[in-house]
Amino acid sequence: MNDSPHIFDVTVENFEAEVIAASDTTVIVLDFWADWCGPCKTLTPILEKLAVEYGGRFRLAKVDTEAQQEISSMFGIRSMPTVIALKGQKPVSAFQGAQPESTVRQFLDKVLPSVGEEKLSKAQAKLEAGDIGGAVDELKLALALTPSLDAARIMLADIAMRDNQIDAAKAYLAQCKPITQMDAEFQRVAVKIETAEQAGNSPEAAALKARIAAKGDDHEARLQLAAVLAAESQFEPAFQTLIESVQIDRNWNEQAARKKLIEYFALAKEQPELVRRFRQLLAATLN
């Protein structure tokens, strides 16, 4: 019997929670075996050894096909040993028969996220928990382990913008591969940086509001005010300012207000209802 927390026996009782649901967060490797199966006695120890060695990057779920026929039937098992990797509640890869350790390692390395990607997930969890410093540490470690991981650079740039560290944020994005620059999250952070720069170069909000009050069709003032507001995450008044500009003259400066409004929608991704409301208002304004 193996006492590792990364190895467990599958039963009907724990199947849903420990195998299906758990595969949403951790790769589950199912090992279908039987007492009478000679090759199983060769393969299972290899899987157990690697489960311990990989230290939780996956969990080994051992299925006794004689005792758990219902589960075996569910996966259509016809021969042993059969190994199936489960990720996101779906089988993603499998093999049959006893295999040497090198082949099993190759199988695992194909289905498991890289160590850098795992650090990225930990960083996201820490960020959501409010541990900004911990998230930054995880992201820097992720890049040290996987230098090509542009997602970590984008997250670091986004974090830098929380403190308005524009130069640092720009430096992180500048290190991203050209293909990454087409990514929606890259674009969102890039817009955030551009907005902060525009806000920094704009007059104070009060002065801009005074200009607009004196001359309602001062579209330049409206765009500058929207940038100041968006940089402060005051998205509703920023959206309203731009909508009014579109309503006054949708074609001003090649529809600059409409284009900027769409850019700012990406910044407010954590306020989906607000974005939905103003998308509908924009559509109604343009129709």
Decide: 261 and 278 in contact? Cβ < 8 Å. yes
CB of 230 closer than 8 Å to CB of 267: yes
Between CA 206 and CA 264 the distance in angstroms is 21
Of the candidates 214, 224, 215, 230, the one whose C-alpha atom is nearest the C-alpha of residue 264 is 230
Is 176 designated active site?
A: no
* 152 closest CA partner among 129, 133, 132, 135: 135
Omega before residue 5 within 30° of 0, cis:
no
**Active-site option among 27, 37, 60, 267:** 37
Catalytically annotated residue among 10, 40, 84, 152:
40
**For 61, phi and psi rounded to 5 degrees?**
-105, 110
Q: What is the DSSP letter of 92?
A: E
Take residue 162 and report the two structure tokens written for it. Answer: 């929380």
Residue 40: active-site member: yes
Task: Determine the Cα–Cα distance for residues 167 and 287; give it in Å rounded to an integer.
Answer: 40
CA 134 to CA 110: how far, in whole Å?
A: 28
| Catalytic machinery residues | 37, 40
